[in-house]
Amino acid sequence: MNDRVRGFPAFPKGTRRRSRFARTWWGNAWLRAVEDTALDPDQLVHGRRYAFGGHVGPIAVSPGRIAATVSGEAGEHRTELVLEELSEVEWDRFLERVSARSGHIAALLEGEMPEELVASADDAGVRLLPGIGDLEPDCDCPDFEHPCRHAAALSYQASWLLDADPFVLLLMRGKGRRELLERLRVSSAVEPTRLADAASERARALLEGWPESEALLNRFI
């Protein structure tokens, strides 16, 4: 099964209350990267309306990008958000940080992105969450805003996907869920001293049964 391209069905109209967007700290960090670089706040307003109004079609996530067709007043537009992939050296550093604490593995598999893990990765020179200027919108609409309303709508819905599954972010950074979990499973198997406490045993159990954890993807979708 190819997990380097993941597809998600379109969110129906009125999926979220208008007073709420991302529910998690990492989902909100994603939105800050979008909103802090917006050149026209009105486009964000339109984007939020499109996101809640069901204007975004099925979403495809692959290394370095997230894409969807977004409908607007003038028709449908192919819209993407581009994010730089991590290098192999950066992935090695990140996986070292994940493996250093078994609780990190369990948290990821249960749909959580530990703040301590992100901070540890940052200390190692690995930026997981996008910062200002890291997300590059691309849309075939004639608008020149950065982002346009279509890219803004996709950005808001992307935060909902991240809320449900942090592996969406990791895929955008370049590695699929199955590849990462297999590498973590092997790492845990060859270093049994890391599996001594209850949290470690929980991580081992989750890793051994990770195919069944796909149900997590539907928690917020």
pTM for the whole structure? 0.83
User: 41-80 pLDDT, tens per residue?
Assistant: 999 999 999 999 999 999 999 999 999 999 988 889 999 9
In this prediction, residue 190 carries a pLDDT of 39
61 forms beta bridges with: 6, 66
User: 131-166 pLDDT, tens per residue?
Assistant: 888 999 999 999 888 899 999 999 999 999 999 999
Half-sphere exposure of 151 (CA within 13 A, CB side): 25
Residue type, 48: R
Backbone angles phi, psi at 78, to 5 degrees: -80, 120
